[in-house]
Structure formats: structure tokens, C-alpha cells
């Protein structure tokens, strides 16, 4: 996960990394094995909330075809 220094100060970058990390933690049980994921957060992503960011990450992973067939979709309120 990456959040560039040009995007925000250290507090903003840390928040961005935490949001990305939590989104991946919730999606990881459904990600296919042997897949490497590289995420980079843009400035626009820092102004959104964690639920919207999670939906965007889930959508990207689904479009990339790395989610397992049993995945029911992005649901922030259901944990693993």
C-alpha cells in the first residue's frame, strides 16, 4: 500500500494507509490464492470515508478477476 508524500501530511497518509489496510483485511478471505495486490491511494481517496473506499477497492478487485466465486459482494458490515 502506498500513499505518496505529495498527497498529504503524515497524519493524512497514515489515515489513508489504515483505511486501505482495513479494506484489504475485510476482503482478503475472498481473494484468490497466489495474488499480489498493490494499492496506491490518491488525494481524492483521503477525502472519502472508509466504507466508500472499501466499496471502490472491492469493485477494483472484482473487475480484476481476483475474487473467489463464493464472494457475495462488498459489505462493510459483515466481517470475514
Instruction: Identify whether 74 is part of a domain.
Output: no
Cβ burial of 46 (10 Å; 0-12, 13-18, 19+) is middle
Instruction: Identify whether 77 is part of a domain.
Output: no
Q: Is the pLDDT of residue 80 over 70?
A: no
Instruction: Identify whether 79 is part of a domain.
Output: no
Would the pTM count as exceeding 0.75? yes
Instruction: Identify whether 78 is part of a domain.
Output: no
pLDDT of 19-54, one tens digit each?
A: 889 988 888 888 998 989 888 888 888 888 888 888
Instruction: Identify whether 43 is part of a domain.
Output: yes
Cβ-based neighbour number of residue 76 at 10 Å: 16
Domain membership of residue 56 as a residue range? 2-64
Total domains, the chain: 1
Q: What is the pLDDT of residue 45?
A: 80
Amino acid at each position: 500500500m502506498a500513499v505518496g508524500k505529495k498527497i498529504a501530511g503524515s497524519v493524512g497518509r497514515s489515515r489513508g494507509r489504515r483505511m486501505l489496510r482495513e479494506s484489504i483485511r475485510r476482503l482478503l478471505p475472498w481473494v484468490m490464492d497466489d495474488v499480489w495486490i498493490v494499492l496506491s491511494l490518491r488525494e481524492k481517496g483521503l477525502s472519502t470515508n472508509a466504507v466508500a473506499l472499501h466499496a471502490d477497492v472491492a469493485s477494483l478487485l472484482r473487475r480484476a478477476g481476483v475474487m473467489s466465486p463464493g464472494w457475495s459482494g462488498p459489505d462493510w458490515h459483515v466481517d470475514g
